[in-house]
Amino acid sequence: MEASAIVLIVIGLAFLLLVVMAAVRMAKKRPTLPSPDAQREIERPTEPEPEPEPEPEPEPEPGPAPARKPAPKPAKGAPEAPAPAPVPEEKKVLVVPVPAPKPLGAGLERTRREGFIARLVDVFRGGAALDDAVVAQAEEALLTADIGVKTAAALVEALRTEFRPAGGEIGPAVLRFLEARVLEMLAHLPHGMQALDDVPQRPAVIMVVGVNGTGKTTNVAKMAHLYKQKGRKVILAAGDTYRAAGADQLAIWGDRVGVPVVVGQPNQDPAAVIFDAAKRAKDEAFDLLIADTAGRLHTNVNLVDELKKIHRVIGKAVPGAPHEVLLMLDATMGQNAVKQADVFRQAVDVTGIALAKLDGTAKGGVVLSIARDMQLPIRFVGIGEAVDDLRPFDAREFASALFAAE
Ligand SMILES: Nc1nc2c(ncn2[C@@H]2O[C@H](COP(=O)(O)OP(=O)(O)O)[C@@H](O)[C@H]2O)c(=O)[nH]1
Ligand SMILES: [Mg+2]
């Protein structure tokens, strides 16, 4: 063979080798994507995402719909996938559910689970007879509850003399019996939100009093919201002129619920601010004026005088007003709330009670003490901080929520 032929064969073989090597390298390279990010994007659909922790179960709290997970972005430089059928994403209507008002039972949860109801359930658990020992334990549970000594004694007496078990498990029957008794105790007072229809001259005026921090300012606005929903034209007076924040707080809440708020100067005489508000309410044909006041220390003599003065001045601006003096009590204070009430009742003629913060306490039994010992109607109960969390008090709803079987 000629030398030139050999050279040609060698060159040919070398070329062939180069082609094979290049092919092998390309085959190895193919699965690699331009960036690690892009690789993650591609792998996502095949690799099942870790399931969200099943425990704890999310509370069935009404709220905005969970944000939808954004679709993975196509990786930069990744090979174009065949165009998927266009999803009419923009046409989907975003439904934001309007949260349903919290049931009253939710606000009584702690009283049921940690308070006297839980203790009663324990006393009667699994039992079938109502002997003296069981009654004594039930008495103890009721006496340590915030329902007040007299009320507790009355319930135990009824249990002893009138309760006739019909056989079977006794616990649920005792709860039904006590529920009926509690309802009887509450029934004779005109609880609930006043319609104010019988007020001869507009505006009707509600004056709200109570110790600082009980919930006056926020609940004045929530009451305004409730009356507004009933079609009333409502105006508010920021009578807490001692704390600059007091008036600002009411003004912000007024904006939120869409009612005007009459605000005075810092440290202005609160009676003057409320008088101005009453005049405006009259001149501009408002249906209802709700006046917030300062709390400070309820033992403060000045406060008592001040409340008397406000009461008088309201009557001068609107004859016959105020039509309601609502005492705001804080349920978390239990029996102390009942004690506080006396001071205010000596200062002004309290005509109704609003009980805030039932949701934050196991002392929900205090409702019974207030109604029975004070003989005052409970107009509203607060079961949270949201605008819808102030409820007109309904005795039947309360009793059945309190004794609801678990
Ligand atoms: N959890 C709960 N908090 C409440 C309720 N009512 C009022 N509050 C809170 O109690 C605090 C004091 O309320 P505020 O209206 O300023 O009381 P004021 O000093 O009497 O005017 C605020 O943080 C309110 O949001 C209620 O029903 N439940
Ligand atoms: Mg206040």
Q: What band does 323 get if pLDDT is binned at 50, 70 and 90?
A: very high
Render 315-352 in DSSP notation, one character per residue. Answer: HHHSTT--SEEEEEEEGGGTHHHHHHHHHHHHHS---E
Residue that is written with structure tokens 């009667």 in the block: 124
Whether residue 88 is predicted with pLDDT greater than 80 in this model: the reply is no
Average pLDDT over residues 256-267: 94
**d(C-alpha 369, C-alpha 334), whole Å:** 9
Proximal ligand: closest to the CA of 390: 1
**d(C-alpha 370, C-alpha 154), whole Å:** 15
**d(C-alpha 177, C-alpha 399), whole Å:** 11
**d(C-alpha 101, C-alpha 142), whole Å:** 30
pLDDT for residue 406: 59
Residue 140 tokens, joined = 């103890």
pLDDT for residue 80: 46
Partnered with residue 352 across adjacent β-strands are: 326
**d(C-alpha 285, C-alpha 75), whole Å:** 65
The closest residue, in CA terms, to atom 22 on ligand 1 is 215
Q: What is the pTM of this model?
A: 0.76
pLDDT for residue 273: 97
Determine whether the shortest distance from the Cβ of 101 to ligand 1 is under 6 A.
no
Residue 327 tokens, joined = 């005492």
Determine whether the shortest distance from the Cβ of 298 to ligand 1 is under 6 A.
no
**d(C-alpha 152, C-alpha 144), whole Å:** 9
**d(C-alpha 294, C-alpha 303), whole Å:** 8
**d(C-alpha 322, C-alpha 203), whole Å:** 10
The closest residue, in CA terms, to atom 14 on ligand 1 is 215
∠327-330-333 over CA atoms, to 5°? 125
pLDDT for residue 81: 45
Is residue 274 exposed (0-12), middle (13-18) or buried (19+ Cβ within 10 Å)?
buried
The closest residue, in CA terms, to atom 26 on ligand 1 is 357
Least confident among 6-20, 210-224, 230-244, 358-372: 6-20
∠152-154-158 over CA atoms, to 5°? 115
Determine whether the shortest distance from the Cβ of 356 to ligand 1 is under 6 A.
yes
Determine whether the shortest distance from the Cβ of 382 to ligand 1 is under 6 A.
yes
Determine whether the shortest distance from the Cβ of 385 to ligand 1 is under 6 A.
yes
% of the chain residues with pLDDT over 90: 50
Whether residue 77 is predicted with pLDDT greater than 50 in this model: the reply is no
pLDDT for residue 204: 97
Q: Which amino acid is located at 137 in the chain?
A: Q
Whether residue 50 is predicted with pLDDT greater than 80 in this model: the reply is no
371: number of Cβ within 10 Å: 26
The closest residue, in CA terms, to atom 7 on ligand 1 is 215
Mutate to test the pocket of ligand 1, among 108, 240, 293, 357 (most ligand atoms within 8 A of CB): 357
The closest residue, in CA terms, to atom 19 on ligand 1 is 213
pLDDT tens by residue, 141-165: 998 888 989 999 999 999 999 998 8
